[in-house]
């Protein structure tokens, strides 16, 4: 039984690679030009289904939908939560409010709207998906083809996924979903196999009506509806350009909720309306849809790979009866070839280390979904939580308890195996092989637990990486030119070419339109990599300012395409990012609060005090303080400090922190005080040249 389960898991992995080859084929996806939109302006109903999502998230989507560069679009808010504030918001933004039926989840809500609208085309956006202003301009012209049933665009996200956030790799590695959205879907599009993924799509009304609307069998109505549209002879198209940006799951619990919903829905289709037996569906479409559903059996295979070496280490049951040399000769080529084949099929989307890492983080909590799919009863629809804010680290015990149990059992088995090997010294090859296997599993399980030990989510607004010219106007009439590094609706990070102390209150003018002005508050001013970086919080921005900033940054496709192009795509780049992420995970969390840029230096000085003499080193200096390095025992820092012959303007100060960096190395921060303090209090310490 042990060997059979391992054989089945290996067969699953091999079949996954074969099915990937069927989906993506060989060679780069072909590019075709968008048809002209001249003289072609069908009416479009823009549908935004909402349930319990925060109002401010819905408002941004409505603002961007209202700004579409398309003349014949009507916006409809489909409220399945029946909230008065949603009705008021829809009215304020010129959208039609439709109260949902509260039946069949999102599919029922969309079908209810289908019966009450009349546009020739229907665009669908999730509540958090902000369309770019060119969304309809880029997608509608494709419907000149009378056989085209729907157009899908990539899902892109304006916040880091849980893995990027945990390891501080936002903007350095692709989002976990990019392999599918920017790799597999474009490749499927080459043979007409791209499918609807829930948002960012446009449908032909007659196509939906021909198949009875959105399918109600599964909680993943998107892929199921696509399957039946293709079976009815309608074609699909994938526009591989970022035309809408949403919110990725913001913590492990949200991520698990989302993946459970996807898994449950796909398994419902697999067992109740399997595409292999769907009438009128072409052979490649049948296999392509089967591949997408088949993927969600990965938790079973992962569980087998976790448990198999434990059979021997805990119970001395051999999973494989073979000489280690023979097993290694057969196993190593297999382990090397499968990733190489995947790299050949997806050359632009390698995933060294990251692929198994993603699966290890979710396999344990998703495993019970496999059982739920086989049990009778209704399935509740759970929306992925959005807008999460936390202020301290926490461990998500609920989501990670299964992973923690497997990791604990693996660690115990390794310790038991090491003790038995050292004590008895028998079956050394078997112990070595299974301990190596269990150790490999444990490394990735520990990585999954690191994701569960969640960093704070302090930002209430998401940042967009973009470069805008900014003019900082000072009270004396001067202005400083800067540019943004990133922008949110609540603030921005500026990069200055010159080093100059800034006041606490700033007047900014952003190069959007004819110039967007706002009052700002200085949050930090630090020198990083030789350039001054300034964090600014917008003070009481007007609704008009926020609207213009949203449309000028977040609703621009080129902003997101530029940011996506900067992520690592090579095997060495992603492997290096994996190692850097592990190292960065253990760095202490520090908020940037220094409001005066530091200048690095290293100069030896003498610290004089009452009956005390010791050498110190000047580490850095700013307009309002200095940093010291002290060796030996912890320095006493009470009282007033006097700096003789200072390298900067600071002559008098008080210590604001003492931090141990290593066993005998201490950092001391001195903040400047008014020189009038000298007349009130005698200095306790003097730093002499």
Catalytic positions, written as ranges = 80, 222
CB-CB neighbours of 685 under 10 Å: 23
Q: Is 387 left (phi over 0), alpha (psi -120 to 50) or beta?
A: left
Q: Report how far residue 190's alpha carbon sits from residue 178's, in angstroms, rounded to the nearest whole number.
A: 18
Total residues belonging to the chain: 689
Q: Report how far residue 370's alpha carbon sits from residue 300's, in angstroms, rounded to the nearest whole number.
A: 8
Maximum CA extent, the chain? 94
Please, are residues 484 and 494 in contact by the beta-carbon 8 Å criterion? yes
Q: Report how far residue 390's alpha carbon sits from residue 670's, in angstroms, rounded to the nearest whole number.
A: 31
Query: What is the 3-state composition of the chain as percent helix, strand, coil, each rounded to the nearest 5?
Result: 40, 20, 35
H/E element holding 548? Answer: helix 543-549
Both structure tokens of 510:
């952003």
Residues whose CB is less than 8 angstroms from the CB of residue 615 and which lie 6 or more positions away in sequence, other chains included: 604, 605, 606, 607, 631
Please, are residues 311 and 2 in contact by the beta-carbon 8 Å criterion? yes
Q: Using the Cα atoms of residue 14, residue 19, residue 20 and residue 26 in order, give the sign of their dihedral.
A: positive
Alpha helical stretches, state H, 346-396? 354-372
Q: Report how far residue 504's alpha carbon sits from residue 213's, in angstroms, rounded to the nearest whole number.
A: 57
H/E element holding 615? Answer: strand 612-622
Both structure tokens of 36:
């002209």
Please, are residues 568 and 508 in contact by the beta-carbon 8 Å criterion? no
How, if at all, do strands 665-672 and 652-662 pair?
Answer: antiparallel
Give the three-class secondary structure for 521. strand
Please, are residues 145 and 32 in contact by the beta-carbon 8 Å criterion? no
Spatial CA neighbour of 288 closest among 232, 227, 238: 227
Backbone dihedral angles phi then psi of residue 162, each to the nearest 5 degrees: -65, -25
CA angle 297/300/305 to nearest 5° reads 130
H/E element holding 533? Answer: strand 531-538
How, if at all, do strands 505-510 and 469-473 pair?
Answer: antiparallel
Secondary structure tally for the chain: helices H, strands E = 21, 26
H/E element holding 607? Answer: strand 599-609
Q: Report how far residue 102's alpha carbon sits from residue 104's, in angstroms, rounded to the nearest whole number.
A: 7
Please, are residues 94 and 77 in contact by the beta-carbon 8 Å criterion? no
Please, are residues 526 and 592 in contact by the beta-carbon 8 Å criterion? yes
Q: Report how far residue 44's alpha carbon sits from residue 536's, in angstroms, rounded to the nearest whole number.
A: 40
Please, are residues 584 and 168 in contact by the beta-carbon 8 Å criterion? yes
Q: Using the Cα atoms of residue 262, residue 267, residue 270 and residue 271 in order, give the sign of their dihedral.
A: negative
Please, are residues 518 and 545 in contact by the beta-carbon 8 Å criterion? yes
């Amino acid at each position: 039984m042990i060997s059979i389960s391992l054989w089945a898991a290996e067969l699953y992995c091999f079949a996954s690679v074969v099915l990937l080859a069927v989906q993506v084929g060989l060679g780069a996806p072909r590019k075709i030009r968008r048809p002209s939109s001249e003289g072609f302006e069908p009416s479009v109903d823009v549908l935004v289904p909402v349930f319990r999502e925060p109002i401010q998230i819905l408002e941004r989507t409505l603002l961007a939908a209202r700004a579409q560069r398309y003349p014949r679009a009507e916006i409809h808010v489909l409220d399945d939560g029946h909230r008065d504030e949603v009705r008021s918001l829809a009215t304020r933004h010129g959208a039609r409010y439709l109260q949902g039926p509260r039946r069949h989840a999102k599919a029922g809500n969309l079908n209810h709207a289908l019966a009450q609208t009349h546009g020739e085309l229907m665009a669908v956006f999730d509540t958090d998906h902000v369309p770019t202003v060119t969304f309809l301009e880029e997608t509608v012209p494709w419907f000149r083809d009378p056989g085209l049933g729907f157009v899908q665009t990539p899902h892109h996200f304006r916040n880091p996924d849980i893995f990027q956030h945990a390891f501080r790799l936002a903007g350095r590695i692709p989002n976990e979903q990019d392999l599918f959205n920017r790799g597999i879907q474009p490749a499927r599009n080459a043979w007409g196999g791209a499918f609807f993924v829930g948002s960012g799509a446009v449908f032909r009304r007659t196509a939906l009506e021909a198949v009875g609307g959105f399918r109600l069998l599964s909680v993943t109505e998107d892929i199921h509806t696509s399957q039946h549209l293709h079976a009815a002879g309608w074609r699909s198209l994938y526009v591989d350009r970022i035309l809408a940006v949403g919110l990725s799951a913001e913590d492990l619990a949200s991520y698990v909720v989302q993946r459970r919903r996807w898994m449950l829905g796909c398994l419902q289709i697999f067992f109740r309306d399997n595409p292999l037996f769907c009438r009128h569906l072409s052979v490649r479409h049948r296999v392509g849809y089967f591949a997408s559903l088949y993927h969600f059996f990965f938790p079973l295979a992962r569980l087998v790979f976790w448990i198999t070496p434990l059979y021997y280490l805990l119970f001395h049951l051999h999973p494989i009866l073979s000489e280690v040399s023979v097993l290694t000769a057969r196993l190593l080529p297999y382990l090397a070839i499968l990733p190489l084949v995947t790299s050949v099929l997806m050359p632009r989307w390698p995933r060294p280390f990251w692929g198994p890492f993603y699966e290890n983080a979710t396999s344990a909590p998703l495993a019970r979904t496999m059982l739920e799919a086989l049990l009778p009863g209704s399935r509740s629809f759970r929306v992925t939580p959005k807008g999460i804010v936390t202020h301290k680290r926490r461990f998500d015990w609920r989501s990670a308890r299964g992973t923690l149990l497997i990791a604990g059992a693996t660690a115990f088995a390794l310790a038991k195996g090491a003790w038995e090997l050292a004590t008895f010294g028998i079956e050394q090859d078997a112990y070595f092989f299974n301990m190596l296997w269990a150790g490999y599993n444990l490394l990735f399980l520990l990585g999954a637990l690191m994701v569960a030990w969640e960093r704070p989510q302090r930002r209430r607004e998401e940042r967009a990486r973009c470069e805008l010219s900014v003019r900082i106007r000072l009270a004396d009439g001067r202005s400083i030119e800067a540019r943004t590094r990133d922008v949110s609706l609540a603030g921005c990070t500026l990069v200055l070419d010159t080093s100059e102390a800034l006041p606490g209150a700033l007047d900014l003018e952003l190069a959007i339109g004819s110039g967007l002005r706002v009052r700002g508050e200085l949050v930090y001013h630090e020198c990083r990599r030789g350039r001054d970086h300034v964090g600014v919080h917008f003070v009481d921005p007007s609704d008009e300012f926020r609207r213009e900033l949203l449309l000028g940054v977040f609703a621009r496709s080129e902003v997101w395409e530029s940011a996506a192009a900067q992520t690592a795509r090579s095997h060495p780049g992603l492997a290096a990012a994996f190692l850097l992420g592990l190292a960065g995970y253990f760095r202490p969390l520090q908020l940037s609060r220094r409001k005066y840029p530091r200048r690095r230096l290293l100069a030896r000085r003498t610290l004089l005090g009452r009956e005390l003499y010791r050498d110190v080193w000047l580490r850095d200096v700013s307009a309002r303080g200095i940093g010291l390095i002290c060796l030996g025992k912890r320095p006493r820092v009470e009282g007033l400090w006097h700096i003789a012959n200072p390298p900067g303007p600071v002559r008098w100060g008080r210590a604001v922190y003492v931090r141990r960096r290593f066993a005998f190395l201490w950092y001391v921060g001195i903040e400047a005080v008014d020189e009038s303090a000298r007349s009130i209090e005698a200095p306790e310490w003097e730093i002499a040249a």
